[in-house]
């Protein structure tokens, strides 16, 4: 990627998007944020002056084409997605998460964009079975078979496959990042049951008791949002990534008990109880595992900086910044 690249971030005001945006701004870049919400509350209004904002919807080719023609980005970081409540509106989930990506790829290819970085998810692997599942948790590499089942997961895999098609048939470069479970400010409010780690942090901070009925033996790979943002920016600014798919994770199994200990390190009075068993999200399948991040380390130079205690401490101090 050339020096001073023009970067557009779809979903740039979301939980992850806001950190990607902040990191770009820290590097002297003025990103263009493309989002259906004009809500800077996750960062604060100070960020408004440091970005350009386009009120747009990825389900509309016209709004994408116009934004690309106006700002001429060399790279688009595509983070916009419909996440919580996807069972309630399957058509919308697919329209935003799969067709929205295809619209973006088409508009990017037509508009001369050099690279699209797509924020995918470990959800693309679908249900984890065999040695990578409980109790052995052999780290999952990018070649692991993907059998996504639900609408969100399928939207992620479909987007990746279509991105690879555009990369093969046009001049567009495509890179997909599959994130582990992310925790960070804002997730409790918008991600429903998937915000369980945020619930442990934010309710403890508010002096509330947390009782999680089951799942204490379940391990999962969890990563702090600022580490994720770092990986996204590395993929966007890399001269030429060697691969089109990377796991972005800590490469470690974490239980809710481990996470509760990290919360107690910052909030000693936290009252958290966790029941035994697996599947604390109640998703009914083995959606949990450890993701091997060797490829991202070696090729993108990605090193997660936050262990659990540091991640929870940073989460709390960032929350206090935006909610004094």
Ligand X SMILES: NC(=O)c1ccc[n+]([C@@H]2O[C@H](COP(=O)([O-])OP(=O)(O)OC[C@H]3O[C@@H](n4cnc5c(N)ncnc54)[C@H](O)[C@@H]3O)[C@@H](O)[C@H]2O)c1
Rounded distance, CA 13 to CA 127, Å? 30
Of 190 and 271, nearer to ligand X (C-beta) is 190
- How far from 323 is each of 41, 42, 43, 126, 129, CA to CA, in Å? 9, 9, 10, 36, 41
CA distance 4 to 7: 9
Choose between 58 and 308: whose C-beta lies nearer to ligand X: 58
When the beta carbons of 14 and 289 are compared against ligand X, the nearer one is 14
Count of helices and strands (H, E) across the chain: 11, 11
Asked if 156 and 120 count as a contact pair (C-beta separation under 8 A), the reply is: yes
Q: Return the number of the residue (59 or 271) whose C-beta is nearest ligand X.
A: 59
CB of 323 to ligand X, least distance (A): 17
Q: Which residues contact ligand X (rule: CB under 6 A)? A: 10-11, 13-17, 35-37, 57-59, 79-83, 96, 100, 119, 121, 179, 181-182, 190
User: Residue 323's Cα: distance from chain center in Å?
Assistant: 23
Cβ-based nearer residue to ligand X, 21 or 132: 21
Tell me which residue has its CB nearest to ligand X: 14
Q: Over 149-202, what HEC string results?
A: CCHHHHHHHHHHHHHHHHHHHCCCEEEEEEECEEECCCHHHHCHHHHHHHHHHH
Nearest Cα to 116, choosing from 191, 177, 55? Answer: 177
CB nearer to ligand X: pick between 175 and 273: 175
| Closest CB to ligand X among residues 180, 276 | 180
Nearest Cα residue to 279 out of 222, 225, 223, 213? 213
- Give, in order, the Cα–Cα distances in Å from 310 to each of 10, 242, 243, 250: 28, 31, 30, 13
**H or E element: which one contains 104?**
helix 100-110
């Amino acid at each position: 990627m050339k020096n001073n690249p023009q970067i557009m971030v779809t979903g740039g005001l979301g939980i992850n998007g806001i950190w990607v945006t902040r990191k770009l701004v820290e590097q002297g870049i003025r990103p263009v944020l493309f989002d259906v919400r004009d809500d800077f509350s996750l960062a604060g209004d100070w960020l408004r002056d440091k970005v350009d904002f386009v009120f747009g919807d990825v389900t509309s080719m016209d709004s994408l084409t116009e934004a690309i023609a106006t700002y001429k980005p060399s790279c688009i970081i595509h983070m916009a997605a419909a996440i919580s409540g996807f069972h309630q509106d399957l058509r919308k989930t697919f329209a935003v998460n799969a067709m929205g990506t295809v619209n973006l790829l088409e508009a990017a290819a037509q508009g001369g964009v050099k690279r699209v970085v797509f924020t995918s998810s470990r959800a693309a692997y679908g249900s984890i079975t065999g040695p990578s599942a409980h109790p052995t948790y052999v780290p999952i590499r990018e070649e692991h078979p993907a059998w996504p089942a639900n609408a969100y997961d399928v939207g992620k895999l479909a987007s990746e496959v279509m991105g690879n098609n555009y990369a093969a048939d046009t001049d567009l470069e495509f890179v997909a990042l599959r994130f582990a479970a992310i925790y960070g400010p804002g997730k409790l409010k918008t991600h429903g049951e998937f915000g369980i780690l945020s619930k442990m942090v934010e309710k403890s901070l508010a002096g509330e008791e947390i009782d999680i009925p089951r799942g204490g033996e379940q391990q999962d790979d969890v990563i702090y949002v600022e580490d994720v943002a770092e990986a996204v920016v590395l993929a966007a600014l890399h001269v030429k990534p060697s691969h089109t798919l990377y796991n972005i994770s800590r490469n470690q199994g974490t239980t809710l008990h481990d996470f509760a200990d990290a919360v107690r390190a910052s909030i000693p009075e936290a009252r958290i109880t966790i029941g035994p068993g697996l599947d604390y999200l109640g998703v009914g399948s083995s959606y949990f595992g450890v993701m091997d991040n060797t490829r991202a380390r070696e090729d993108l130079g990605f090193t997660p900086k936050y262990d659990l205690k540091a991640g929870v401490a940073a989460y709390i101090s960032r929350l206090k910044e935006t909610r004094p």
